[in-house]
Amino acid sequence: MEKAIGVFDSGLGGLTAVKELSELMPNENIIYLGDTARVPYGSRSPETLVRFAKQDLEFFFEQNVKAVLVACGTISTVALPVLKEMCPVFIEGVVSPAAKKAAEVTKNGKVAVIATNAAINSGEYGKELRAINSDLSVIEKACPMFVPIVENGYFGKNDPVAKLIVEDYLSEIKSSGADTLILGCTHYPILRPAIEEFLGPDITLVDSGKEAAKEVCRYIKESKQENESGAGGNVYYVTDEPSGFIPLAELFLNKKIGEVKKVSLGDDN
């Protein structure tokens, strides 16, 4: 089999990047890892996150992948430099691609970022945006309830739970004057219908997983590593019982995903 692209996250969020990668490069094989035994990542300390991130990445070494997409804003903000040092193949996180896109699309220079507690506390999105353009004004907000509501399936456009929490977290963003909002945690685009409905058409949403997927696609094409052997296939792994993951993944991806295998990454899962 041709080499695959490895994509990982704590749970369902990284599927937002998988969806984009599959659309951009339907011939590629993707191996997805959701660390569902330890989701959510966003409330953890940087030390714990670095440990989890190393174990996630090591899983892909055994799979002999040709590139790795860290489809997790939390890990991308706190552990990417460590992962880059360890990784023998191309590795991309979501922060830099999302920041680049936001800096490109904003018209009034006011960019808002929503992400997990750990990602916002790291300040990495703000740093990356200001490094691209020091005149940008950045508003950052943690939305810690978004991941649990997604992982529990409350993500339909008219879902009353999603609506209530979106309104509570995003009122401040709506009135801030920002014309661009980075969905800095890959779970958040799954709530896009509710977020769009609340914010209206005047704020452009930047999907961090999607932007990172475009970057990986660019690398695969430029380095001439495209899979030439026909239609690609995806394989999914999780670290906890797969029965909770499968229906929600299929609901979001709008297709059957086949068998999902359970793997163990470390002593604590």
Q: Which positions lie near ligand DGL, rule CB under 6 A? A: 9-11, 13, 39-42, 72-74, 116, 119, 147, 185-187
Q: Of the two residues 40 and 242, which places its CB atom closer to ligand DGL in the complex?
A: 40
Active-site annotation holder among 87, 143, 185, 217: 185
Q: How far is the CB of 84 from ligand DGL (least distance, A)?
A: 18
Closest-CA residue to 190 (of 99, 238, 254, 129): 254
Q: Of the two residues 74 and 106, which places its CB atom closer to ligand DGL in the complex?
A: 74
Q: Of the two residues 40 and 97, which places its CB atom closer to ligand DGL in the complex?
A: 40
The Cα 162–Cα 47 span in angstroms is: 31
Q: How far is the CB of 60 from ligand DGL (least distance, A)?
A: 17
Active site residue 72: yes
Active site residue 87: no
Q: Of the two residues 208 and 234, which places its CB atom closer to ligand DGL in the complex?
A: 208
Q: How far is the CB of 34 from ligand DGL (least distance, A)?
A: 10
Neighbouring-strand partners of residue 91: 68
CA 18 to chain CA centroid, nearest Å: 9
The Cα 68–Cα 4 span in angstroms is: 9
Q: How far is the CB of 186 from ligand DGL (least distance, A)?
A: 4
Active site residues: 72, 185
